[in-house]
Amino acid sequence: MSQVILPKVHPGDSISDRRQRVLVTGAAGSIGSYFAEHCRKYDLRLLVRQRDERAERLKDYGEVVAGELSDTDFLEKITEGMDAVLHLAGDPDPSATWSDLLAANIVGTYNLFSAVKKSGCPKVIYASSIHAVSGYAADVQVKVDEPVNPGDLYGVSKCFGEALSRYLAEKEGLCVFVLRIGACLPLEDAQKEKNLRNMDAFLSMRDFQHLAECCIDDQRLQFGIFHALSDNKFKRLDISRTREELGYTPKDDFFEEYPEFSEALNTPLRKHNVEDKTQQSGFRED
């Protein structure tokens, strides 16, 4: 089933005439803080939790607001006037218990979407996860059209967010982009042996930055589920639709950054096709 439905036309003033206003939830986390620090295109409102000591370092990058996803009135107030919400907040622990996930990833996500709908903000970029489909066998490259298959309760919570996103896009008129994020890490982390387990799921911070901006800037699509990985030689998730629909052009590849893989990849690979003139063919010889 296609992830793209009707084109979205936003009422009101043209955002092409001004900088877009973007709310980032979970802005004190590793992904949110990287996005805030490296974003130069938008006017940012950065949501952090109350008494989060990391909030101080965000003040140079936008308007910092402190609050909780449980406070629906607060959420409605801070989403008002925004052109988009990048929703990163939630419990990111794949081993989290149901009680923690229920508050942050289920109720909190619902509250955020409800506030967006009430305030009139037209777009949400929802941070889903590779864990929504991590239940597939390790040798399967997952396509966006395949059914969700969570590998843990954290993945289950992200499936809820994906379903809510589609409902709000198709039935309530919001513009929603769902990003199934892999192992989002600084580029230099691809050089560390401990991260070998992320080789097929690696997403560099700067590739995520680029992809999020593709979603924020897009004015054509109303809904889509998109896989978010770097351009790794081997990919757990198929990113072809992300490239085609959003113009995503990832720069990084785990296999080029990890020393042993990089050295091996510098060895020319045999091309098993008719265009490789170096290969011999018994049929051609005959």
User: What letter represents residue 200's amino acid?
Assistant: D
61 labelled catalytic: no
81 three-class SS: coil
Question: What are the C-alpha distances in Å from 99 to residues 31, 96, 102, 106, 279?
Answer: 24, 8, 5, 10, 59
Q: CB of 182 within 8 A of CB of 203? A: yes
Among 154, 167, 248, 258, the one annotated catalytic = 154
Question: What are the C-alpha distances in Å from 219 to residues 46, 83, 176, 247?
Answer: 23, 11, 11, 13
CB contact set of 142 (below 8 Å; sequence gap of 6+): 133, 136, 149, 227, 236, 237, 238
Annotated active-site positions, please? 154
